[in-house]
Amino acid sequence: MLTVELERFILEDLGEDDDSTGIVPPVAASANIVCKEDGVLAGLDEALQVFEYFGLSLESHYADGNPIKAGDVIMTITGDAADILRGERLALNFLGRMSGIATLTRRCVSRAGNARIAATRKTTPGFRSFEKKAVKLGGGDTHRYDLSAAVMIKDNHIAIMGIEGAIAAAKKAASFTKKIEIEVESVEDGEKAASLGADIIMFDNMAPDRIAEGVARVKKINPRVIVEASGGITMNNIGDYARAGVDVISLGALTRDAKWLDFSLDMETSK
């Protein structure tokens, strides 16, 4: 995390006149950050940077991506009590949000068989890079970080340009280093996209049995085409989509539905 980015987060939390911490006397203290439920750890690096910014001494007991259990002490912080309190909420927010995403991602990965689990751009403005990082730490794929990462032709592109026009325009405009992905809602449109040379075909909001048919038919046209499933996919039905034979399953749920993992900071002053 860049220093300027870190300072923006710190300023947001401290505000203009931090009387809450200002009343704390200058005493030495130590604190443990404790995980209160099982999950996958993410956000540790960011939490460490927060406390390091305030000049505190740190000892971490785990690494990002590690499985953790309720009661585990994630890190120990020592130094000025007020500075520990200044970093507490921001550090816990990083840990809670990112670990929640990593935990949900890991659970989805465990049910997906050989299919790759991927995120979407349904992320919190200003926090996308951290949410995408958490997906990766959970064993998932980050997918596109932004609109410049690949050419993705969606339903509204098709409504304006048609499948043929959109793919033709993409081939002319995009660098050879970028893949062309198209979102379709029928097997027939998937076949058309495969015949026109799309690199990735996303079957969107389709039942698993229809997607299985689509996979067979587009792979017959181009065995190297990547097939993705998206839309309405949850922990409960992810196995059905994996069994349809897709290469990738993308879920907005990884960031939209992830429950924060619970952490607490417990502090003691030096006697």
192 catalytic residue (yes or no): no
C-beta pairs of 128-133 under 8 Å, 24+ apart in sequence: 130/43, 130/46, 130/94, 130/97, 130/98, 131/97, 131/98, 131/101, 131/255, 133/42, 133/98
Calpha distance 31→50 (Å, rounded): 14
Q: Tell me: is residue 204 an annotated ligand-binding position.
A: yes
Q: Tell me: is residue 128 an annotated ligand-binding position.
A: no
Q: Tell me: is residue 48 an annotated ligand-binding position.
A: no
Residue type, 5: E
Q: Tell me: is residue 214 an annotated ligand-binding position.
A: no
> Running DSSP on this structure, what letter comes out for residue 262?
P
Q: Tell me: is residue 56 an annotated ligand-binding position.
A: no
Q: Tell me: is residue 144 an annotated ligand-binding position.
A: yes
Q: Tell me: is residue 154 an annotated ligand-binding position.
A: yes
Q: Of these residues, 36, 122, 136, 171, which one is catalytic?
A: 122
Q: Tell me: is residue 122 an annotated ligand-binding position.
A: yes
Q: Tell me: is residue 253 an annotated ligand-binding position.
A: yes
CA atoms within 13 A of residue 242's CA, in its CB half-sphere:
18
Q: Tell me: is residue 231 an annotated ligand-binding position.
A: yes
Q: Tell me: is residue 190 an annotated ligand-binding position.
A: no
Q: Tell me: is residue 71 an annotated ligand-binding position.
A: no
- Which of 249, 252, 254, 251 has the alpha carbon at shortest distance from 211? 249
**Strand boundaries in the chain, DSSP class E:** 28-35, 39-40, 57-60, 67-68, 73-80, 116-118, 151-153, 180-184, 200-204, 226-230, 248-250, 263-269
Residues 191 and 174: beta-carbon distance below 8 Å: no
Residues 25 and 86: beta-carbon distance below 8 Å: no
Give the three-state DSSP class for 160: helix
Tokens of 89: 């909420």
Please, which residues bridge with residue 67 across strands? Answer: 40
Please, which residues bridge with residue 60 across strands? Answer: 75
- Which of 39, 213, 1, 236 has the alpha carbon at shortest distance from 139? 39
Catalytic machinery residues: 122
Binding residues for substrate: 89, 120-122, 144, 154, 183, 204, 230-232, 251-253
Binding site, annotated residues: 89, 120-122, 144, 154, 183, 204, 230-232, 251-253
